[in-house]
Amino acid sequence: MAEGDEPTDRDPDDLASKIPLFAELDKLMSWRDGPVNWDLARQVAIKAVSGNDPKVGGAEAAAAADALRLADLWLNEVTALPSGLLGPAEAWNRVRWIEATLPVWRTVIDAVAEQVTAAMGTTLQQGLQGVAENGLPPEVAAMLPPEMAAQLPSDASGFSALLGPMMGMLGQVGGLLFGTQIGQALGALAGDVLTATEVGLPLAPAGTTALLPGNVSAFGVGLQIPADEIRLFLALREVAAARLFGHVPWLRAGLLGAVEEYAQGIRVDPEQVMRGMESFQSSFDPSSPDSLSAAISEGMFDVPDTAEQQRALNRLETLLALVEGWIDTVTAAASEPRLPHASALRETVRRRRAAGGPAETTFTTLVGLTMRPRRLREAAAVWEGLATTRGIDGRDAVWSHPDLLPSAEQLDDPAGFVTGQEGSSTDDPIAAIEALAAAGNSGPREASGIGRHPQNTTSESDPDPAPDSGSEPPGDPSDPA
C-alpha cells in the first residue's frame, strides 16, 4: 500500500462508510461510554464558541501568569492555607476552557444523566407492560406511521421481546440528546466565565490556575477601572480558590457528592415523558440541527425536585456559598489595601455571582443544577466574623472538618455562629476544633495543611490558632465583619 492510501479492508457494500453524513451519524449512535455522548458534547460546545473565540497572545499570557503569581504572594498575608500554585498559571481561550474542564463536568453531569436515563427506562418498561396488558393507547398509536402500527405485536410476549432493543435505543438516543444539550450549555458558559474556578467547582486540573483574557476584557467594559487592576482582582479570586481546593482534601468530594445525592433522588413522571416525546416529534426536523435544540428546550428532560433532591440541593448551595464567601473574604482582605477599586470590584463580582448571567441560567435550565451561591453575603459575614474574633488561623481551621462548617440554618445568624450563641446551636466552632484535636481526631486538619505557614506576615505572637474555648472572644460579637 502506498503511503497515504486508505485501507482497503472495508466492506464494498457498506454504503454508510462512503457517505460522510451517514458515517458521522453511525458514530454518534454507536456511543456506549456512559449516559452522555461526550464526544458530541465537546463538538457542540467548541462549535458554539469557535466563531467568536479571541486568541490569547504572548503578552496576554504573560500578564495573566504574572497577575496570578503576584496575587498568590498577596494571599500569604491573609490566609493560613498554603499556596495552591502547584502547577501552571495560564491564560485560556474559550475552547481551552471547554477541553480542560470537560473531565470534571463529566463527573458532575453523568451522575444526573444516568439517573434520568434509568428513570426513563423504568417508565418505558412499565409502559410496555401496560401496553401488553391493555393494548396501545390511542394517542400513542396516532403518533406512529400506519405501516409501523400494523407491525406491532398483538400479545404480551411480543411486546416483552421489544423491551431489550428499545432499552438499547433509549440509551443511544439519550446519550445523543444529553450530549447536545450539555454541549450547548458548556459553550454558553465558556463565553462567560472569567477564571477556571468561577462557577464554584474545582474544574481545572489539580494545581492549575487560569484566567480567560477575552472574557475578562469583556467583563471590564463599562466599569471604568484599569484593566490591570481588574486582572489582579480576578487573579486573587482564582488563586484563593486554588488554595481552598488544594488544601481542604474533603471539599471536592463534598461538592461532587452533593450533586450525586441530588441525582439519586431523580424521579420521572411518565406523563411528562409522554408530553416531551410528543413535543419532540412535532418540533424535530432531521434536516435542521437547530430543531434538536428547540425540541430539548421544550423540557423533555425536565424533572420535578423530590424532597431528597431539595435537601441535597440545600447542602450543595450552602457549601457553594461557604466556598464563595471565603474566597470573597480573603480576596477583599488582600486587595483593599492595594487596589483603589477593590470595593467596587468586590460588589460587582458579588452581584454577578449571586444573580448569575445568561449562560449560567441556560446551564441551570438544561441540567437542572444551580451553581450560584444563594447565601453569599451571609457566608462572607461568617468568615469575616471568625477572622475578627479568632484570627486568620482560627477562621481557616474551620475548614479542617465538614462538621465544623455552619449549616444553612446557622447562616441565618452569622454573628450567632461566630460566637456560638445562635438560637439553633450553642456550639463554639473553635471549641469543637479543640475537642477534635484532644480526642486524637486532628487528622483532617493536618492533612489539609491548615495552619500558619512560614510565609505569612501577619503579626500574631500566639502560634496556637484556637484560644481556650472558655475565654471571651475579643471584639464586638454582634458585628460579623
Q: Which CA distances in Å does 62 have to 210, 227, 347, 438?
A: 12, 14, 27, 48
411 located within any domain: yes
Residue 251 in domain: yes
At residue 368, the pLDDT reads: 64
pLDDT tens sequence across 38-79: 988 999 999 999 888 989 999 999 999 999 999 999 999 999
Average pLDDT over residues 416-438: 60
- Poorest-confidence range of 44-48, 96-100, 265-269, 446-450? 446-450
Q: Are residues 171 and 320 in the same domain?
A: no
Query: Are 175 and 197 part of one and the same domain?
Result: no
Number of independent structural domains in the chain = 2
Q: Tell whether 319 is covered by a domain.
A: yes
Structural domain of 234: 59-91+192-205+215-268+303-481
Question: Residues 254, 106: one domain?
Answer: no
> Are residue 46 and residue 84 in the same domain, yes or no?
no
74 and 166 both lie in a single domain: no
Q: Are residues 255 and 364 in the same domain?
A: yes
The reply to whether 330 falls in a domain is: yes
Residue 273 covered by a domain: no
Q: Do 87 and 116 reside in the same domain of the chain?
A: no
Same domain, 330 and 472: yes
Are 102 and 126 in a shared domain? yes
Task: Say yes or no: 87 and 98 in one domain.
Answer: no
For residue 298, is it within any domain?
no
**Position 467 in a domain:** yes
Distance from C-alpha of 70 to C-alpha of 469, rounded to nearest angstrom: 37
Residue 292 falls inside a structural domain: no
Span 429-447, pLDDT tens digits: 556 555 555 554 443 333 3
Query: pTM for the complete prediction?
Result: 0.74
Report the chain's mean pLDDT, rounded to a whole number. 75
Together in a domain, 237 and 142? no
pLDDT at 255: 86
